[in-house]
Amino acid sequence: MSLKEKVIVITGASSGIGEATAKLLLKKGANVVIGARRKERLRQIADLSKDHVAYQVTDVTNLNSVNSLVKMAVDRFGKVDAIYNNAGIMPLSLLSENHHEEWQEMLNVNIMGVLNGISAVLPIMHKQGFGHILATDSVAGHQTISTAAVYSGTKYAVRAIMNGLRIEENKNCIKTSIISPGAVLTELYRSQSDEVSARRLQNMWKGENKTLSADDVAQAVIYALDAPERVNINEIVVRPLAES
């Protein structure tokens, strides 16, 4: 199957996995509609191929904002072949530290952001008679470690939501995929409120084979998107070689 001229909406597209996926899709001839909070970073991606990129500042915790991004895709390119719900944050802390505001923000971004993306595209995909909904999950959605209880909880929720979506929507020819990476060298460490924790996370990621690159994960996204129409790749887990 060819990705040429397919229309892919990507949230969390201003850096990391979202940015890498957008750039790889452009190389393959797709049209991308990118959303994130940082307008200047989005503009830099759009400058790579103005005929094939539309962008808009997007807050995934706000349904109207996500609806507007999806509407832009339809207005500009006439359809939505897929949405990649990629926006996410990962502030880590012990439960005993009671970072209630961080917990709430993770629920809003990591869970409601995915639900808002689903809500925005389902009416369009039902009308089209096809579509593909993807989300970034994590190996933290398969196992939990100290300091990551709430983050893991959000990612377990994404797995459950996406599996429910698969069960409900396969009759409508709508595919579902989650991409569950291990450690990825991105700007995710910046969501740490504590600078010491952020540096510790960066140090953990240093060293050969300890982390994936954003491009590595983008290749997994492309694999799911580029499967034959009869194939629904529901889940991909991808880890660095050195990750146990």
CATH number at residue 97: 3.40.50.720
Is 17 domain-assigned?
yes
CA distance 199 to 177: 32
The strand pair at 235-238 and 174-181 is best described as parallel
Is 120 domain-assigned?
yes
Q: What residue spans of the chain are helical by DSSP H?
A: 16-27, 39-46, 63-77, 100-106, 113-128, 149-169, 195-205, 214-225
Q: Answer for the pair 142, 92: CB distance below 8 angstroms, yes or no.
A: no
Q: Answer for the pair 212, 185: CB distance below 8 angstroms, yes or no.
A: yes
Is 242 domain-assigned?
no
Mean pLDDT of 52-71: 98
Residue 1 has pLDDT above 60, yes or no: no
Q: Which amino acid is at 221?
A: V
Mean pLDDT of 71-95: 96
Mean pLDDT of 216-244: 94
Q: Note the pLDDT of residue 193.
A: 66
Comparing CA positions, the residue from 238, 244, 124 lying closest to residue 181 is 238
Least confident of 21-25, 62-66, 114-118, 237-241: 237-241
Is 178 domain-assigned?
yes
Residue 198 has pLDDT above 70, yes or no: no
**Residue 189 appears among annotated catalytic residues:** no
Number of domains comprising the chain: 1
**How far lies 9's CA from each of 3, 122, 154, 172, in Å?**
13, 13, 22, 20
Where does the pLDDT of residue 15 fall: very low under 50, low under 70, confident under 90, or very high at 90 and above?
very high
Q: Note the pLDDT of residue 63.
A: 98
The per-residue pLDDT for range 141-177, each reduced to its tens digit, is 999 988 889 999 999 999 999 999 999 999 999 999 9
In eight-state DSSP terms, residue 86 is: -
Q: Answer for the pair 214, 186: CB distance below 8 angstroms, yes or no.
A: yes
Q: Note the pLDDT of residue 53.
A: 97
Chain centroid, CA 1 distance in Å:
22
DSSP code per residue over 190-235 = GG-SSHHHHHHHHHHH-STTSSB-HHHHHHHHHHHHTS-TT----E
Identify the active-site residue in 84, 151, 156, 189: 151
Mean pLDDT of 41-48: 95
- In this prediction the pTM is 0.93
Q: Note the pLDDT of residue 206.
A: 63
Mean pLDDT of 33-62: 96
To the nearest whole percent, how much of the chain has pLDDT over 70? 90
Is 127 domain-assigned?
yes
To the nearest whole percent, how much of the chain has pLDDT over 90? 81
Where does the pLDDT of residue 242 fall: very low under 50, low under 70, confident under 90, or very high at 90 and above?
confident
Least confident of 14-28, 47-61, 185-199: 185-199
Q: Note the pLDDT of residue 169.
A: 98
CA distance 226 to 127: 22
Is 2 domain-assigned?
no
Tell me if residue 105 falls in helix, strand or coil.
helix
Is 243 domain-assigned?
no
Provide the domain limits for residue 191.
Answer: 7-236
